[in-house]
Amino acid sequence: MLREGIDCEQFVIPGEKVADLKNFQCGSNTYLRGNFIYSSIVGIKNISKESKEGKKIVSVVQRNPYTAVIPEVGSFVYARVISVNPRFCKCAIICVNSLPLQHDYTGIIRVRDVRATEPDKVEIYNSFRPGDIVRAEVISLGDSRSYYLSTAKNELGVIYAKSMAGEMMIPINWCEMQCPKTKVKEFRKTAKPSISEKN
């Protein structure tokens, strides 16, 4: 994914596809899922010289080309889940429209904003867990440095999560992810992957 402005054409976020396995090999801060390599952190995509296997190594490095962007109503953001309780999920917003923030802003996902259908049956703990990376939309401004977020659209929700075994999980439907190592399924409100990201 290419982005315009502030010399961040190669900026990537957790869960973003950075290369294919046919021509590249996993480097630092990346992981393999199917036939593609994905970023595990917010950073800059880096391609190094060929390895012994004859493939170039793709990695993601942390740098600080931050811009003075702030979340606004209608913006799509990426946020890390900090805590959950029966009424809402508290997040730290780390990117706005794929641009990294210099300072985290607090985001709140209320029970009624998790999904569009049957919101009264939503259980926050079955939708998000601390440490998850979520793609969400800013729907309103809360108090100072706090925003109300929504994951009600199909393309919004958890895009990156680790299983209880510490493995990067794979989404298998709109409400579950699976550990590739143990095959154990865990509930999440997953984001529908784009066609280009499917294996």
pLDDT of 5: 35
Give this prediction's pTM: 0.69
E strands, 40-175, in order: 43-50, 56-61, 76-84, 88-96, 99-110, 133-141, 146-150, 157-160, 170-173
The predicted-structure confidence for 111-158, as pLDDT tens digits, reads as follows: 999 998 888 888 999 999 999 999 999 999 876 668 999 999 999 999
Q: How confident is the model at residue 97 (pLDDT cuts 50, 70, 90)?
A: confident
Query: Would you say 127 and 189 are in contact if contact means Cβ atoms under 8 Å apart?
Result: yes
Residues 6+ apart with CB under 8 A from 45: 10, 11, 12, 18, 39, 58, 59, 60
Percent of the chain topping pLDDT 70: 85
pLDDT of 4: 35
**Mean per-residue pLDDT of the chain:** 82
pLDDT of 66: 52
pLDDT score of 194 more than 50: no
Query: Would you say 160 and 14 are in contact if contact means Cβ atoms under 8 Å apart?
Result: yes
Residues 6+ apart with CB under 8 A from 52: none
pLDDT of 135: 93
Percent of the chain topping pLDDT 90: 38
Nearest in space to 156 (alpha carbons), one of 97, 195, 115: 115
Domains of the chain with CATH codes? 11-61 (2.40.50.100), 66-199 (2.40.50.140)
